[in-house]
Amino acid sequence: MPKRIAAFGEVMMRLQVPGYDLLSQSSTLQYSFSGTGVNVVSALTRFGHAGYLVTTLPANPLGDAAAAHLRRLGVSTDFVRREGPYLGMYFLENGFGARPSRVTYSNRLESSFNAAPEGAYDWEAVASTADAMHFCGIALAMNDTVRGHMAALARAVKKKSGKVVFDCNYRPSLWGEGGYAKAKPHYIEMLGLADLVLMNEKDAIHILGMETGQTERKDQLTELIPAVAERFGISAIAGTHRSVNGDNTHSLEGYLFKEGSFAFSRKLTFSVYDRIGAGDAYASGILHGELSGYAPDRTVAFAAAAALLAHTVSGDTPMSSEADIRRVMEESASDIER
């Protein structure tokens, strides 16, 4: 049965130089609008659920364009506020081979989302609608008002028996120097409210300061994640290990820890067209599996295949249907069909 999933988060304008040119070589940009919340709920609408974004967009043509883009992606704008003049933006120059992609941000701290005052949102209305509510560590890095919104909304959702989902998504550049220490109390607050968490062992070590005698990533993971689950009373924790291979392919292995045991996906290796947003595709796959009552093995395989496909699609936002993902789960490379 389809569910109603909402996400709280900022919408960013992505301004991408076409092809492999640099900003100083080109004179054209392609724009779209995205964000962790956008990506996750849009992906879920493709699996048949109803998706809502809870955010604030500017009350001007940029906000109009962002709202139109959200609707195009299938995301409901019923809980989107329109106020203020600014929208966060980032410029993307595609890398090639040994030359990495470059992301340059505008000053997002003045954005309508980050400037929305306490009391701006109607938590009651959101909580009455959402079966599950998604939050992420990027919003958590913004400012105290945003963090206040997050805690208040999570509490409202829990009160209505909705599921709270939290993606740790720690971004060093947002927290600045000494970031882990600054971030820790806020992460602890969100983890204490969450039912389903996206993270891996690095978050446990660096943000929560947990210790391990293990040296292999997977051993660290299997030691620390159950401890996190226990400490914060989290029902399910999921995440991925990614590696970049010498031949420009990437590899990805997903995990889901639940009811005391781990499920792992196959390690998938694949070519990458657009890497941004693939983590959100994984999260959407985990949510879909959990909301649909899949067995953990199937959930994690579905989520990993969703992540793989997100690397093959342009833009930040996953575009694959459930059928597309199932085909990847079942088949290997396929030729044109006609």
Give 216 or 335: the residue with its C-beta nearer to a copy of itself.
335
How many C-beta neighbours within 10 Å does residue 174 have? 18
Residue type at position 145 = T
In whole angstroms, the minimum distance from the beta carbon of 245 to a copy of itself comes to 8
Per CB under 8 A, the list member of 234, 239, 296, 308 interacting with a copy of itself is 308
Which has the closest alpha carbon to 278: 36, 10, 33, 112? 36
24 in contact with a copy of itself (CB under 8 A): yes
73 in contact with a copy of itself (CB under 8 A): yes
61 in contact with a copy of itself (CB under 8 A): yes
| Cα distance between the two ends of the chain | 32
Which tokens hold the place of 241?
A: 């290990």
What is the sign of the dihedral through the CA atoms of 38, 41, 45 and 51? negative
Give 90 or 180: the residue with its C-beta nearer to a copy of itself.
90
Binding window for a copy of itself (CB under 8 A); candidates: 193-201, 227-235, 290-298, 320-328: 320-328
Give 48 or 209: the residue with its C-beta nearer to a copy of itself.
48
68 in contact with a copy of itself (CB under 8 A): yes
CA of residue 195 relative to chain centroid, distance: 16
> Footprint of a copy of itself on residues 74-103 (CB under 8 A)?
74, 85-87, 89-91, 93, 95-103
Binding window for a copy of itself (CB under 8 A); candidates: 128-136, 189-197, 257-265, 314-322: 314-322
Residue type at position 112 = S
In whole angstroms, the minimum distance from the beta carbon of 168 to a copy of itself comes to 16
In whole angstroms, the minimum distance from the beta carbon of 67 to a copy of itself comes to 8
Dist CA 244 CA 250 (whole Å): 5
> Footprint of a copy of itself on residues 177-236 (CB under 8 A)?
none
Which has the closest alpha carbon to 138: 281, 276, 35, 283? 35
| CA–CA distances in Å: residue 160 to residues 9, 99, 120, 129, 295 | 20, 49, 20, 9, 26
Binding string, residues 256-275; x marks residues near a copy of itself by CB under 8 A: --------------xxxx-x
Give 1 or 98: the residue with its C-beta nearer to a copy of itself.
98
Which has the closest alpha carbon to 136: 6, 275, 319? 6
Per CB under 8 A, the list member of 120, 188, 227, 244 interacting with a copy of itself is 244
Q: Are residues 70 and 33 in contact, defined by beta-carbon separation less than 8 angstroms?
A: yes
> Footprint of a copy of itself on residues 27-56 (CB under 8 A)?
27-32
